[in-house]
Amino acid sequence: MPIHKKEQNRIGRIGWLRAAVLGANDGILSTASLVLGVAAAHTTHANVLVAGIAGLVAGSMSMAAGEYVSVHSQADTEQTELKQERAELKADDKGEHKELAAIYVARGLDPSLAKQVAEQLMAHDAIGAHARDELGITKTLRARPIQAALASAGSFSVGAAMPLLVTAVAPEAGLIPLVFGTSLVFLALLGGLAARAGGAGMTVGAIRVTFWGALAMAVTAGVGALFGTVV
């Protein structure tokens, strides 16, 4: 029972965890990259900070809007499928019983037992049984657009605030190495925690995020330096 409960809680976290982790990761990486790119172009410390703040605001709004539209589309699809399933239950109740029983047979149940299970589940909650076992829609994994949007915007802002704080307190001469180094640490911690929450290895998660983060920041800084030299 404790193992089942642990697995159930982990599955329940998938929806909001995905949005939160992606938001924080993007917040750290995009803001740090922006700061490094602008700083490498030899602009003033104040301009670098303003660019970072603008990136935080724009990024959080973009994440919220994008996540809301994406998840809302999923929710619309789920509602359409459930509406169609309700209509099918009204039009052909016996056929839906057979369809559900066939699903259980395909999963390994004896035909007579599958028929009994289908009858009992449909007597209890017909649409719930079909939503879960035919359509793969459950209350735990239902699309929640507003929750996803808020999680994305909030986590992006929290992530973006990390390199911004370093930018605000770092001396101008050491700004680039400090932002680069601390952002890699932040990304490694986030990758490790996200992997642990999802049940995967922390080391692999941290290395994966750190590698791609370092590459993105290096490329952006290089572009900023090149642009600053040309201009």
How do residues 104-127 score in pLDDT, each as one tens digit? 888 878 888 888 877 777 777 777
pLDDT at position 207 over 60:
yes
pLDDT the model gives residue 143: 64
The ranges assigned to domains in the chain are 2-230
pLDDT tens track for 145-165 = 888 788 888 989 999 999 999
Residue 98: what pLDDT? 80
The candidate with the shortest Cα–Cα distance to 24, out of 205, 213, 158, is: 158
How many CA atoms are closer than 13 Å to the CA of 221, on its beta-carbon side? 18
Residue 63: the pLDDT is 85
Average pLDDT for residues 209-228, to the nearest whole number?
Answer: 88
Question: For 200, what's the count of Cα atoms within 13 Å in the CB-facing half-sphere?
Answer: 12
- DSSP assignment string, 162-194: HHHHHHHHS-GGGHHHHHHHHHHHHHHHHHHHH
> pLDDT tens digits for 176-206?
999 999 999 999 988 887 777 666 777 887 8
